[in-house]
Amino acid sequence: MSDLYLSRIRNWFLSSPPAEWAIRGLRETLIGALKQGPVPRHVAFVMDGNRRYARSHKIETIEGHHLGFEALARVLEICYKCGVEVVTVYAFSIENFNRPKYEVDGLMQLAKVKLEQLIQHGELLERYGASVRVLGERDLLSDDVLEVIDRAVSTTKNNKKCILNICFPYTSREEMTTAIRSTVEEYSKSSAPKRTPFSQTRITQKIMSKQGDRSGKMESDNTSLGQEPSPTPPGSDDNEDSMSSTTTLYPDSPGRTSKDGSSHVTIYPNVENITTETIDQHLYTADCPPLDIFVRTSGVERLSDFMLWQCHQDTQMFFLKCFWPEFDLRHFLPVLLEWQWRQKKKAMEEGPRQRVKTA
């Protein structure tokens, strides 16, 4: 009883107007101090621990998810005040469809309610100029959920300062599969006919020259074996330009030579040009900056098929023991401070290297 009594006193004190005013002032001071240093451009969150938080506090599972959305609002305000450009959150995995139907239906209903609230009371997003993007497999969602998603995206599409990426429903493997599929489709289609710097005559000369080199090598081999080289047919000409005149090109041929001597050919993209940047351009996050910070709550230390491609050598990962509904500035502050310290350390290490290269 004493612990419950103390907890109630603590909650009463923290909710009192003087305490709220003091806490709000302290938060603003800390955020202002953070803005004086380097600020991450892109932060991703795995919002894990809603169900375990609900069980530990003996409340319904769906209520734990409600509290998780409230935590998201707090975190977004902190990020946007600090100057973070893109926040990406893992709201619903494709694998979550394997959960009990009542929980999946509850999450879908909750998503609709929260997106409706964003549409009707979007002061936070409007204040910081944040647009909503929903990334994932739309085909897995019902029409009523898609309708709310489209309205949320359309309502905030003119906000250009910040981005909120909601991955719903999403897995990184599916994202990479989609990116590779679209890349293959792009490289399987020919581009519009282009004018090449070589005429059809020049291309034919090159082919015939290579064939002549091969036949000369064969004659040289025959001579070395004591055989006479095959005679050159009468009327043949060594001039490669005359060889090209025997090539017939139909009017609609893709290799047709124009009057100015250049050739119109169908150009296919070279698959050798496919790079990591090519795949980047086909991801859901194509126009987002590189991922700086990856945060997962609830003490679980794995990526769970989230942002696998986007996590690169400079992405700093933080696995926190608190549950997502508890996540607040007091948890996020050490993450940002450590990231800033590492950035300054990296800049100090790269400084001498740059001077050595310049010398």
Q: Helices 2-14 and 17-34 meet at what angle, rounded to 10?
A: 70
Query: How many C-beta neighbours within 10 Å does residue 80 have?
Result: 20
Alpha-carbon gap, residue 211 to 244, rounded angstroms: 13
Q: What are the start-end ranges of the H helices in 91-239?
A: 101-120, 123-128, 143-155, 172-188, 200-224
- Residue closest to 145 by CA, chosen among 112, 119, 167, 169: 112
- Long-range CB pairs of 135-139, under 8 A, 24+ apart, other chains included: 135/88, 135/165, 135/166, 135/167, 135/168, 135/170, 135/175, 135/284, 135/285, 136/92, 136/94, 136/167, 136/168, 136/169, 136/170, 136/174, 136/284, 137/94, 137/169, 137/170, 137/174
Between CA 297 and CA 68 the distance in angstroms is 11
The alpha-carbon radius of gyration of the chain (Å, integer) is 32
Whether 173 contacts 308, CB under 8 Å: yes
Catalytic residues: 48, 96
